[in-house]
Structure 1
Amino acid sequence: MQKVLGDFIHALRHAGLPISSAETLDALKAAQLVGIDNAPLLKHSLGMTLTKRLEHRLTYEQTFDQYFTSHNQFKEGYQEAPLQNATEGLEKHAQTEVDSLKQAPLNKPETNLNSPLAQQLMNNDMSAIQVMMTSAATASGAQDISFITQVPMVTYRVMQALGDTELQQELVALANSDESSATVQLLRQRRSQLQQQVRDYVEQQYLIFNQNEPNKLRESNLQKVNLTSIDHRNYKLMGELVRKAAKRLASMHSRRRRITKRGLLDVRRTIAANAAYDGFLFHTKWKSTRVDRPKVMVVCDVSGSVSEVARFLLLFLYCLQDVLPKVRSFVFSSDMAEVTQLFEQRDMDQALAEVMQKWANLPSDYGKALTDFEQIALADIDNRTTVIMLGDARNNNEDGNISVWEEVYRRSQRVIWLNPEGEFSWDSADSIMSKYAPFCSHVETCNSLQDLNRILGSVLKRAN
């Protein structure tokens, strides 16, 4: 049962449902409690443990029906078995249209057969064939098919794994004997039915495990596309991708790690722990290493020159603050404002709309913005603070107030500047990127979600 439910959860993840390891264990416990002889009850129980949102429910129900129908879990033939044997029937992965292969002729030809597959077909040993077919399909990559055109190739591999080559050779040998003509005809008929059954099973696996592949390809492409090139039709999907990226980053660098029984010996604690043993070191103590949650200040330029990118940068900033503690958020065109409480009190759409309405699409003035930042937050920056600037450093030929940014650099642990423009555009026209760059720990181009994942994932990882 664990194998079948594990594959089912794997199929749900392929369909786009986020399912954790803890939820997988809850689903296994639920299946053990309710049993598998009642399909509606099992469907409802697993749905309570594996779905979190209403929009996930429809996908779950479709995948459940498709998956367990493909394995024919709840056909009458399986309901006749006692409940304690239900798990065995579940693991056999029975396929539809099996009954057509169970019809044997009234006068069974008696011929000595050497091929194991031929013997199983002649004896209608469908249970063994079903188990072999399921194992062979998994080994042949039926769950990993990316295109429907791969189905014939995988079907061929499964048939070969079942022993089709030996069966074909035996059919050729028997074809020369008139006494074996009935046997040859029967075996060819059943081989044809088996091949169709294998193909149907492989197609079903493709539909179950790869129905979400086009969406995955689309998501992968969106992560690589420049933020300035994304149109309004993809805003909703991009928002989901940004949420996932922010959550991954927060999980990655807020996790606490401890070194146990390795690393550096803690002499003081070791001596104290063995004081009662006359100096004999029965118990060793090791130094622990933690990854602390850093203080993060994120400053986002929302002026007209980055208007096409600002929405996604703000979205990322909103999601990062939502999942990572100790984040303070600031936005500016010329005047700078802290929006930490705004992001905490409003939902995403309302918060972003208010920011874009009050502060966005105005001429940028980094000098004025940094003056405001000095008054609002400079005193709170210490050697545990990471400051991230999201902006293009285009200042409309105004004074950039470089001294304030230099002070930010001296006080903080690190300063990261992510510029949505390519490096070839830095210092062109009114850009003053080269004036800020000496006072940054990292300066990189960041114009796609993939860049955000890569840069922040590598830089925000802090070890003492």
Structure 2
Amino acid sequence: MRFVADFIGALREAGLPVSPAESLDALNAIKLLGLENRKTTKTVLALTLVKRQTDQVIYEQLFDLYFTGVEKVKQTDSDKLLPEEQKNTSEAGLGENEQESGADEYAASSALGQSLNQKQDMSLAIAQAALAEKLSSIVLFTQKNHFAYKIMQRLGDEALSAEIRADASSPAQKDLQRELIKSRARLLEQVKDYVEQQYMIFARHKGLKFREEHLQQAKLSQLEHIDYTLMQRLVQRAARKLATQHSRRRLTRKRGLLDVRKTIAANAAFDGALFHTRWKATRVDRPKIVAICDVSGSVSRVARFLLLFLYSLQDVIPKVRSFVFASEMVEVTQLLEQENIELALEEIMQRWGGLSTDYGEALAGFQEQALASIDKKTTVILLGDARNNQGDGRTDIWQKVFRQSKRVLWLNPEQRNSWDSGDSIMSQYSPWCSSVEPCRNLKDIEGIFSRLLKYS
């Protein structure tokens, strides 16, 4: 049953939602039917563990990987047979064989060496050793050699290696050592193949989760281009999660806070008896957003994912105007709406990204293009490090933006202790912001938009 339990664990790691009750159903079914018929086992486990059609492919891949060779392993109850008992049983059996074949002065002295000389199938021993070493806990590909070494040690490789290294007293013993070297190499290859197979089952999805967790907290400004594809998927997944949470306008009916005034009025005809209750309704309007992104230097990488996140929230934030700048302010709303979002972002970064920054010139351009359209329903989000190359920052324009809008959020991709260092003029802009927050990774972006949607 340990094999089935580990297989269920592998399915969960791959993203299949398997409940404890379903796990028990699967284990009970296997107790009744056994593992003798592979086709029956596959069908029964699929019926009890797979609920979604989309998960069927993953299930079949993992089943074929995991149950390769399980017919050999199932012959023993490995949960009850401890490693030391395995070793003693093996040594006892080898001793009997040795007595039957007659004493051989140059026969292998180690238990593992004797097994290899007798051409025994080591599949069962490898599986049991892997179980004892908790190979199912493997996460990273760098652990494969470690587990292969630990399995070899549990099989008795230390004694075998000592026997191989020992000084040969005769040509026959030297020949035996050469044969043991070849046999050990074949065994090691078999062990590595088994570890690789188990890695594909248990670690492939764990490794992806580990990488995803790392990227969610990694500095967006330090991401390599090779990470963009996975990061885009993470951004869109996080945006969909938020969109699902905030897609319905909160309207409380028959729950929440009692509206006393409306309740009394509704029951006036019943001499005060409360036949009908009325509840307070809360409506959350979808915010109107103007996004302004600095795309100079390393800030451009953060801008890429901020805009991707923003435009992945179209269900809950349909009114968005987007601007990018290094020095010249450019509206890119139509480009982002009409083209594929990834292609549009790539074009924006190629055309306007990486240039030197002039916040003064950029804000002057924004004043001409968009200041008149900002009203008390508008939330302005500016992403930038406020590094202005010693130029005039035109804070007078930013003050007008603040006074005309509902709120102003300034997102800075640098850590707080870097603000106002060098050519940064963050302190000149911050008095005219509703909130100034660090925006360095995906977790920061998700938190910022979650609060924005919650309190809109």
TM-score bin (small chain): 0.5 to 0.7
Match of 1:257? Answer: 250
SS at match of 1:298: strand
Match of 2:152 in 1: none
Q: 1:405 aligns with which of 394, 398, 406?
A: 398
Structure 1: gaps spanning 5 or more residues: 20-35, 52-56, 73-94, 103-141, 152-203
Partner letter of residue 256 of structure 1?
A: R
Q: Which runs of 5+ in 2 are unaligned?
A: 18-38, 78-133, 148-196
Q: Aligned residue for 1:352? A: 345
Distance 1:361 1:322, change over 3 A: farther
1:63 maps to 59
Which residue of 2 is the match for residue 285 of structure 1?
A: 278
One-letter identity of the residue aligned with 2:62: Q
Are residues 1:396 and 2:389 paired?
A: yes
Q: Check conservation: 1:409, 1:415, Cα contact below 8 A.
A: yes
CA distance in 2, matches of 1:224, 1:98: 42
Post-superposition offset of 1:49: 5.5
Task: Tell me what 1:79 maps to.
Answer: none
Q: 1:281 to 1:50 in 2, by over 3 A?
A: same
Residue 288 of structure 2 is matched in structure 1 by 295
The reply to whether residue 267 of structure 1 matches residue 263 of structure 2 is no
Aligned twin of 2:14: 15
SS at match of 1:415: strand
1:337 equivalent to 2:330? Answer yes
Q: Which residue of 1 aligns with 2:184?
A: none
Amino acid at match of 1:339: V
* Distance of aligned partners of 1:275 and 1:210 in 2 relative to their CA distance in 1, 3 Å threshold: farther
Taking structure 2 as the reference length, the TM-score comes to 0.59
Q: Equivalent of 1:240, from 226, 233, 237?
A: 233
- 1:386/1:412 contact within 8 Å kept: yes
Task: Report the counterpart of residue 450 of structure 1 in structure 2.
Answer: 443
Contact 1:11-1:63 within 8 A present in 2 as well = no
Q: Is the 8 A contact 1:409 1:440 kept in 2?
A: yes
Which residue number in structure 2 is paired with residue 428 of structure 1? 421
225-234 or 386-395, larger mean C-alpha shift: 225-234
Aligned to 1:218, what secondary structure does the other structure show? Answer: helix
Secondary structure of 1:221's counterpart equals helix
Counterpart AA for 2:57: E
- TM-superposed CA distance for 1:419, in Å, is 0.7
TM-score by length of 1: 0.58
Cα distance change on mapping 1:262 and 1:310 into 2, 3 Å? closer
1:55-111: CA deviation from partner (whole Å, max 9, x where unpaired): xx8xx5242353499799xxxxxxxxxxxxxxxxxxxxxx85698579xxxxxxxxx
Taking structure 1 as reference, are residues 291 and 297 closer, same or farther at Cα in structure 2, changes over 3 Å only? same
Q: Deviations over 1:338-367 (max 9, x none)?
A: 222211111123201221233222222222
Alpha-carbon shift at residue 371 of structure 1 (Å):
2.3
Q: Which whole-Å CA distance do the structure 1 matches of 2:57 and 2:256 have between them?
A: 49
Shift of residue 302, structure 1, vs aligned partner:
0.7
Alpha-carbon deviations, 1:212-271, whole Å to 9, x = none?
111111111122221232222212111111212222333334443333445433234324
Instruction: Specify the code of the residue in structure 1 equivalent to 2:263.
Output: T
Measure, in 2, the Cα distance between the counterparts of 1:266 and 1:397.
57
Q: 1:285 to 1:207 in 2, by over 3 A?
A: farther
Cα pair distance change 1:337/1:99, threshold 3 Å: closer
2:291 counterpart letter in structure 1: V
CA deviation after TM superposition for structure 1 residue 295, in Å: 1.6
Shift of 1:275: 4.4
In 1, Cα distance between equivalents of 2:342 and 2:232: 10
- Once the two structures are superposed, the pairs formed by residues 58-457 of structure 1 within 5 Å of their partners are 60-67=56-63, 100=75, 211-304=204-297, 306-321=299-314, 324-457=317-450
**Contact in 2 for aligned 1:254/1:324 (Cα 8 Å):** no
**Cα offset for 1:38?**
12
1:254/1:292 contact within 8 Å kept:
no
Listed one character per residue, the Cα deviations across residues 310-362 of structure 1 (whole Å, up to 9, x for unaligned) are 43344334434577322222211222222222111111232012212332222
Q: 1:97 to 1:349 in 2, by over 3 A?
A: same
Tell me the equivalent position of 1:195: none
CA-to-aligned-CA distance 1:107-134 (integer Å, 9 cap, x gap): xxxxxxxxxxxxxxxxxxxxxxxxxxxx
Q: Percent identity?
A: 53
Using the TM superposition, give the Cα deviation of residue 449 of structure 1 relative to its aligned residue in structure 2, in angstroms: 1.6
**1:174 aligned residue:** none
- Superposition RMSD on alpha carbons, in Å? 4.4
* 8 A Cα contact 1:63 1:208, kept in partner: no
The amino acid that maps onto 2:455 is R
Partner Cα distance (2:67, 2:224) in 1: 42
Larger Rg computed on CA atoms? 2
